[in-house]
């Protein structure tokens, strides 16, 4: 989450994303809610990648191994 970036649009919504994690983003009325939603988006993204045995990007030298379930 330390890599997350946030911007506020002209309509007042806050948009957050995490570079390097495709399709992990959130939009909300407040920064706090956006952060919360972004954490949920990241959790769902990781779960989907792990269950499909797809790689997860290495972050700060940390790599989550994906085991073959067959």
Q: What is the pTM of this model?
A: 0.83
In a domain, 45, yes or no: yes
In a domain, 14, yes or no: yes
In a domain, 59, yes or no: no
For residue 1, give Cα distances in angstroms to 5, 52, 56. Answer: 9, 23, 15
Structural domain harbouring 19: 5-51
pLDDT digits (tens, 9 = 90+) for 9-64: 999 999 999 998 999 999 999 999 999 999 999 999 999 998 888 888 888 888 87
DSSP code, position 19: T
Predicted local confidence at residue 27, as pLDDT: 97
In a domain, 64, yes or no: no
Among 32, 25, 31, 26, which residue's Cα sits nearest to residue 12?
Answer: 31
Strand partners, 8: 14
């Amino acid at each position: 989450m330390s890599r997350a970036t946030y911007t506020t649009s002209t309509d007042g919504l806050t948009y957050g994303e995490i570079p390097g994690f495709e399709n992990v983003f959130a939009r909300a009325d407040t920064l706090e809610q956006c952060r919360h939603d972004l954490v949920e988006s990241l959790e769902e993204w990781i779960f989907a990648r792990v269950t499909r045995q797809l790689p997860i990007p290495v972050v700060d030298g940390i790599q989550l191994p994906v085991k073959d379930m067959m």
